[in-house]
A and B are shown apart, each in its own frame.
Chain A
């Protein structure tokens, strides 16, 4: 049985198909049709809802795509939908601002925008900021598509919505109490959800997880579900056994030693953001263009690695940084460089019953430069055509260390070894850069698809070295269109 708050109503579900998405649950089981299906693939944001969860003794709120979230992910949380914002006949400030600014036309995307704005308001308040700036607004709304307005009035609405306490703030103490009650009741027994002959387990500890995976080697690990849910909604496959890892607190832990940033495999990309940005600002810049905020709020670093896509955005950066991955099976762990994790298209070294426990990212060194360049058709919320990451150390005009990794250039995220060889030990000058560019053409034989031709992939990959050189040599030169906000 799973338990959660549907706004302020305690819901207990013990017979529900675990392959049910929150969107389907809301619309078809509960008849709450305010939340819309625009694509059922996490790309349009019309289905955005907000999850409230206990965090550091308080509440925090995050926008998510309900079409990509399986119901097990609701356990122990508060689910807030667009129907819940209006209070005693009065529109919520996020809603009122949309009306006042003429932010809705056809209205189909509107509930999703309202929920993203609601979450934005909560997060601005959490930062003690007076109002969101343009960057905050774009970050919050880049995952919501509107086909009617051209966005200007929506942006105005987000900027002008009144920042004032709402019913969720007023009832917060009680909400916290009720969520804690759910947690303490559940602590006494195992949590699982069954329905339609399928099962989802919600383990709460690493050992519980390891045991479950041993018993059910066929089970699919469910973290954010932002990729896995597509199996159900887009590819129409049934998943009979799910193990939801979102309640294994050890997997969400982020810590650091002198040597490493240790990122739990279950930590959301949003939670990783501040830590990675502090070490490597360009990693942060990359994460800002990684899918959408809704996806980053749910999606995990471990998931982005584990699904082994050749066009996932974090692996090239992590490989360039020589990150290690810690795999666990039962109580055995092994640590290996991330680049050795990927074997071939969607195939990894991971054994049945084994799972990713954490990722170790080396701390930034003096003289070290890390740059990442993402190329996509649309700047925000798009899958990379090519992603290149460069980790260099230049000392006294000589490149003493170079690790270069790419996504979108091969069947797996991969290092550009010939390029690295050219660079390492070479003088830091244009000639070396040109040799490295030529080497890239030997490193990779990319394919052509609807995102880009192989020629474009090769040329833009090589051009990244030009950009890298200019950025390091002439910092005053503008090199990124994304700097214009």
Chain B
């Protein structure tokens, strides 16, 4: 019971308050709930937690070979190092060894076979991390090297897959290609991407008296970590509790990859009965964990004189690494997005899940979507160059349209296509045509620097394609001072999910945002949660929290009607007040009243996404509840002597339905665009011939820095356009879709290169477009066009994998 002194307001004052709107509810740019703690260093991440005096620090010894048969692992030398408590191998895992999330294939520690350079072989628990590392390196590991498959082409040749190929098919693409007036074909490598969350993987665990474990971990998927920790320990799920307050970045990299460190720490804690922490140093994190899938995509397209696509065949080959992980769904999503926003005519899309002896590639913002979605953009640019037209004209011509041109190649109808309108609006607001003209003039007079421009759309399907995952839960308690405690199944990784869900609850109860407290996501509070992934966090958990709030609210309304002898329609909640016909009662006071009248002030909530279904055998259905849309116009400048470049300006128009929080949504759009641009420009993953990742730290792997953001950055959300589906307050998901706005940068770079041959030839450019690749494309273009300025040209090197400079 609260003893706080509340100033008593007169009914007149309360009436004034009731006339005003809540200022921190849905649609307001409320600050991130942790912002004030983050800027002072008070926000606690796993590694910041106070340590126990007997806590062990865990280090895993990683393999230094890509593929081998283990002949010996001897950990006895580890114990010669003072401070070592335990050294474990696969044989010491008490329960199940495999931690594969969907299909088996991911041993916690390598058992008989090493399948990638960087695979954990053994782990040591010691008094500090450096001691654990020294000890782990002292173990004796012997193996016989086996042939390794390191490239996706090699895997395709050998039909070496983690799972079977899959196909989407509409119509007869072969005939359509044969009868098309124009045809083109090609192949392109699309690079992978390191997540580079600023906080590396980390878990801290405490054994319980019941043989279970309390696990503090930085994960997007608490329920799965709970399941896997229970399984490796051989205990029931209810003995394991996961607590996840916040991540220092996730981006998909902590959907499945957080489980390994959590499980290793749990095994060590279980065997020693001591708390244990496993935090990966940056290099180990980059060597050990999976990344965005590199793809090798081949295409054949037929089109007419106008540039309209008639037949489309696409073979998408994802480099899955050594195990299935989530690769089936990831390659599926690449296939689902190989149309982007365009009607493909007769189309056959085939997805291959190639196995290589590299770390198991995993979820990363867009989840395969970007690697498929970039393909039509590459193709349409090429069509435009072949026809001598502006790529934007060809894009607009091929957009999904009315009846007859509004069904995808997996037979979902595009019901609320916003792209024609959005492209028109952005074309105007970005001054596309005028700038196109100015850029041509600039390029004609600039011998070394060339500018490029591209406007590209994004259509991204929202829902987990594994339909059962589209569910969420929440838990709300109201205490007798009117303060609210909220939990939901989603996880906070910086995206502002907790802020949005709290705003939703604030809106429902019409109370201030500050009166709501969200504590750590915890499997004790909300069970059986889906990962915070597929951009679904707010859609699913927001709805679940709304459901919980509405349950309590309905009880309160029923109580008020009874207590004040009014109808339920006479009761409403408004700006921290409850209005019962003419009586206004402050929310906290009303809650106390309800408590004294024995009303339950706690409820769970639940949500499942309606309408969606998908028959994978038939490759038909409605896998997505709705689509999110966006468009970006990027202008770049390239240096034709080095291939270096800079983004000069970006204009973005993005659709989030009715925004839950415009500031947070814009933050997602901007951050995603820059991350997408990084993926396609400077972020290059390089492996050597032994399969070792050479770019294993920020000194060699270059994510965008501050000066890599556009010099002039203009971002706008589509206004007054609610989601036509019944999503939470008619908002739309925002995490992943804007990532693919970065494709406009790649296309703009190609546009700048194409200027060297008067826009009549298509540059061949693999992603990422590093300065080196850009320079080779510049050279090739200059060779095609003998009048261009630079005389001497050099052939590009054949191989893209280089020796390491020590």
Which residues does A use to contact B, with CB under 8 Å?
27, 31-41, 43-44, 46, 81-83, 85-86, 91, 94-96, 98-100, 102, 104-111, 114, 137-138, 141-155, 234, 236, 375-383, 385, 434, 437, 447-456, 458-460, 462-464, 466-467, 470, 477-482, 484-485
Contacts and interface: CB of A to CB of B under 8 A. Distances in A.
Given A141-B706, A379-B707, A460-B775, A106 B686 contact: no
Interface in B687-738: 694-695, 697-700, 702-709, 711, 713, 715
A412 to B, nearest CB: 13
B699 A43 contact: yes
Contacts of B707: 138, 142, 379-380, 485
Contact of A107 (B246, B686, B792): B246
B41 to A, nearest CB: 2
Given A36-B248, A464-B641, A470-B448, A106 B705 contact: no
B798 to A, nearest CB: 10
Contact of B700 (A32, A86, A447, A450): A450
B42 A34 contact: yes
Max chain B C-beta neighbours (<10 A), residue from A39, A236, A434, A437:
A39
A481 B708 contact: no
Interface string B237-257: 000000000111111000000
A380 B248 CA distance: 24
Contact of A41 (B39, B48, B446, B699): B699
Nearest to A238: B130
Nearest to A96: B39
Given A34-B41, A478-B448, A481-B645, A105 B697 contact: no
A145 B663 CA distance: 21
B346 interface: no
B642 A460 contact: yes
Given A40-B281, A145-B198, A463-B641, A106 B448 contact: no
Interface string B338-371: 0000000000000000000000000000000000
Nearest to A81: B41
A91 B698 contact: no
A244 to B, nearest CB: 22
Given A102-B31, A152-B713, A479 B449 contact: yes
Minimum-distance CB pairs A-B, first 10: A34-B41, A106-B494, A108-B248, A107-B38, A150-B674, A105-B494, A43-B698, A33-B48, A150-B670, A449-B805
A449 to B, nearest CB: 4
Contacts of A102: 29, 31-32, 35, 663-664, 666-667
A104 B797 contact: no
25 contacts: A33-B47, A38-B282, A43-B698, A99-B31, A102-B666, A106-B198, A106-B250, A109-B198, A114-B39, A142-B706, A145-B196, A146-B706, A150-B675, A151-B709, A377-B771, A378-B704, A434-B792, A447-B805, A448-B797, A449-B694, A450-B686, A450-B804, A450-B805, A452-B772, A453-B772
Contact of A106 (B248, B281, B672): B248
B491 to A, nearest CB: 11
A377 B684 contact: yes
Max chain A C-beta neighbours (<10 A), residue from B198, B494, B702:
B198
Contacts of A154: 706
Given A142-B705, A470-B447, A149 B644 contact: no
Contact of A82 (B41, B496, B694): B41
Contacts of B790: 463, 466
A414 to B, nearest CB: 15
Contact of B711 (A35, A95, A485): A485
A106 B797 contact: no
A377 B770 contact: yes
B493 interface: yes
A480 B772 CA distance: 16
A467 B702 contact: no
Nearest to B281: A40
Main secondary structure of the interface of A (DSSP, over half): loop
B494 A481 contact: no
B43 interface: yes
Contacts of B684: 377, 450
Contacts of A144: 706
B444 interface: no
B500 interface: no
Main secondary structure of the interface of B (DSSP, over half): loop
B689 to A, nearest CB: 12
Given A34-B42, A150-B704, 11 more contacts: A36-B45, A98-B35, A104-B494, A141-B706, A142-B707, A148-B495, A149-B671, A150-B671, A379-B707, A460-B643, A479-B449
B802 A450 contact: yes
Contacts of B648: 484
A138 B134 CA distance: 40
B794 interface: yes
B424 interface: no
A484 B695 CA distance: 28
Contacts of A437: 792
Contacts of A39: 282, 697-698
B3 to A, nearest CB: 24
A19 to B, nearest CB: 10
B706 A453 contact: no
A38 B198 contact: yes
Contacts of B1: none
B337 interface: no
B198 A147 contact: yes
Interface string B38-54: 11111111011010000
Interface string B365-391: 000000000000000000000000000
Interface in B649-689: 663-664, 666-667, 670-675, 682, 684, 686
B249 A459 contact: no
A462 B792 contact: yes
Nearest to A98: B39
B249 A147 contact: yes
B143 interface: no
Contacts of A383: 699-700
A7 to B, nearest CB: 13
Max chain B C-beta neighbours (<10 A), residue from A434, A463, A479:
A463
Contact of A450 (B198, B247, B694, B706): B694
Nearest to B48: A33
Contacts of B794: 455, 458-459
Given A33-B48, A147-B197, A147-B251, A380 B698 contact: no
A33 B46 CA distance: 11
A452 B772 CA distance: 7
A481 B805 contact: no
Contacts of A99: 31, 35-36, 39
A37 B675 CA distance: 21
Given A91-B36, A144-B706, A147-B251, A378 B713 contact: no
B184 interface: no
Contacts of B196: 145, 147
Contact of A104 (B38, B48, B134): B38
A378 B667 contact: no
Contact of B705 (A145, A153, A466): A145
B91 interface: no
B805 to A, nearest CB: 4
B706 A378 contact: no
A479 B248 contact: no
Nearest to A464: B641
Contact of B667 (A31, A46, A153, A377): A153
A132 to B, nearest CB: 13
Nearest to A462: B792
A448 B704 CA distance: 24
Nearest to A453: B797
B673 to A, nearest CB: 6
A382 B770 CA distance: 13
B795 A455 contact: yes
A52 B447 CA distance: 48
A152 B34 contact: no
